[in-house]
Chains A and B, each alone.
Chain A
Amino acid sequence: MASITIKDMSVSYNKGKTYVIEDMSLKVNEGEFCVFLGPSGCGKTTAMHCIAGLLKPQKGEIYFGDKIVTAPLKGIFEQPQERNIAMVFQEYALYPNMTVRKNMSFALETKKAPKEEINRRVDEMAKMLSIEPLLDRKPAELSGGQRQRVALGRAMVRNPNVFMLDEPLGNLDAKLREQVRYELKKIQRKLGVTTVYVTHDQTEAMTMADHIVLMNNGRIVQEGTPSDLYDHPCNLFAAVFLGTPKINTFDCKVQKKGEDYFLVHPSFILPVPEEMEESVKLFEGKTVIFGIRPSDLILVEEGSEGCISGTVDGVEPLGEAFLVYLNVGGQVIVFKYSGDKTSFSGQLSLRPNASKFHIFDKETENRIND
């Protein structure tokens, strides 16, 4: 087990003409479950391959604990086979010519571990993942979910420095995905192994991660705990990427009336909460983006002060709650209602939770309020 430190790493596939990762710096603590999250093509898999040693960055350094494993400018590069890492690929990459048992013991045999030790560890891991009855089968005879578990088992049986997973749940159906997600996190906590997990699915990131690294266009947008990112997105991209349904956003003008500041939209006027005034007042007269998550809207009496009003556009029952779509001045917004009401129609008024305002600069899209 080891922590991972990345310093100013840049990766280019065309000798420096364009960079897929630029100046990435990151620290993943020992035993941490770290998720690289981002849209496809953001460089998250590339970053992981660099950590694994499958790719050589052009610049930068990577450390496992105190040990330097990649430093192209110093001519240091440890081959993947020397790094003691384990990886699960999206396509599982089980060796088709070997049985499940052999697949799981392969890496240990390569390391020339004692036979009894190997058998003990394989049996233990097989029990943990309940794949014991499959040990003598070949990968071709397994279902998707079983293959997935074998791939996980093969990686975890090795007791690696770092455990890496590249969208490992991508090929599973929704139900199985939830189950494996839960098991995976449980096992990771039990083994306490430093884990890097790549995904584009924000739900996976939110539910599993200790530490989310949100990436876009080869750069880290924001990193922190899931609640850091959810409650304090540092820019519009982060706000929109995390959370389902998506955050509602409005272009508003900041106006001062008397001593108070207001967010003015053609369809509504909202008072800026006192604690945010300090940061918002610099934008007086300018346009900002006001964001509010669907669950931070509260249904109130029609015509109340400081409300967003609109006509009901559609309703999606979720069982425990409803997603209600409202048309506000031509723009459709969504709010999540979990009260007793079961039918929605006509005009509704919503009051945004004042402590959950997200305000972004229209030009830079960076967060204004803290």
Chain B
Amino acid sequence: MNGFLNQLPIGLSIGAVLLLAALGLTFTFGQMGVINMAHGEFIMVGAYTTYMLQSWAGHNAVIAALPVAFVVAGLFGVILERTLIRRFYGRPLDTLLLTWGVSLILQQLVRDLIDNRGVQVVAPDWLIGGADLGGIRIPYNRVYIFCLAAVCLVGIWFYMSRTPAGRRMRAVMQNRELAACSAVRTDRVDQITFFIGSGLAGVAGVALTLVGTVSPTLGTKYIVDAFLVVVVGGLGQLRGALIAAFALGLLNSYVEFWSNASLAKVIVFVAIVAFLQARPQGMFVLRSRALT
């Protein structure tokens, strides 16, 4: 029974990791329709930022790196958007190939400039170990990741629903042409969206340093899962991403508990395919009056 209950925090923490990795994508993919394969590499950029800051901030790098990784990864995103993606709007297949190429280049850059093998980020002492809650083990590093995901989620929700800039972002998301007619500078909004989306990937990277190695291929491990969360949740839907991330996390953790890691992955994929057969548009649909 304890084993069963123990899987609950595990599932929630997998969900939190998925949510962090996918939050940024709900914007760039959801709002702008850009299939950004380099999103995973922005996660990696965040993780390496943490690693670099370690020499300065020591064991507290996982805290100090949060704002830095957000800005650094965000800038990477803006540069990518300004120099390349902007020229490929409305050409999803080309963008896919383009950003995949960019992701390969970024990975190789890290190999050449930093280290071709994985590096470690040392967690602060208060994040090592865990607490026992009535027989259920709660590891501190997972609590940290969970809180981080919650803070990001609330922050994004607040930005989108309570600030003028967020309203403009939603306007562009719902109907680009009409927003442009109403004097919203859509290309400016696109830039900000890309900055925030990529920055969130950077924050996810900081969180992932607590789980495993920081390696050049860190991002590629999560990119597929992140896309799945966005597609299952529905494009551009915060609520959908939240529910999808935790549903996938819990499903994965319980199926793995009853079978094994490889089989769990297969079963989760089959479940997603079945779900998308029934609901190709995802859990939630953006309601808009666009004629598309």
Does A associate with B in a complex?
no
Residues of B within 8 A of A (CB): none
